[in-house]
Amino acid sequence: MIDSAKVPGAARAYFDGGDVRDVFTEDAVVRDDGRTYVGIEEIVAWKSAVSTVFTFTQKIESVNTPGSAVVVSVKVEGDFPGSPVQLHHHFSLDGDRISALTVCP
């Protein structure tokens, strides 16, 4: 397991539970579970829905930083169908904020 301190910048703030409005750009795009969320309001709704529907823990297992991207491999366990799962979070950063996030197995 890797401490979130090893995750760079805004991607770390995302895992540490930072306010979505402070972590993502206004026009950010998130792709998760076959859906796409565009803009801060849709991302706030997505993050809130995930947090209220399921209880889960995340353990960061690896961090890669190819170019300007950040790829974080996370083991997620909780009360959702198919738990536990290994998810890969692919972040594109724009300065100190996330401009895109794709979550995939």
Domain CATH code at residue 18: 3.10.450.50
Contact criterion met (CB below 8 Å) for 21 and 35: no
Q: 25 falls in which pLDDT band (50, 70, 90)? A: very high
Our count of domains for the chain comes to 1
φ, ψ dihedrals at 67, nearest 5°: 60, -130
Start-to-end CA distance of the chain, whole Å, equals 18
Residue 63's DSSP bridge partners are 72
Mean pLDDT of the chain: 91
Q: What are 52-93's pLDDT values in tens digits?
A: 888 888 999 999 988 778 999 999 999 988 999 999 999 999
Convert 31-61 to b/e letters by CB count within 10 Å (16 or more is b). Answer: ebeeeebeebeebeebbeeeeeeeeeeeebe
| For the chain, percent of residues with pLDDT exceeding 70 | 97
Decide if pLDDT at 97 tops 80.
Answer: yes
The pLDDT of residue 2 is: 63
Decide if pLDDT at 1 tops 60.
Answer: no
- 61 vs 4: CA distance, rounded Å: 10
Range of the domain at 14: 4-104
- 26 vs 46: CA distance, rounded Å: 15
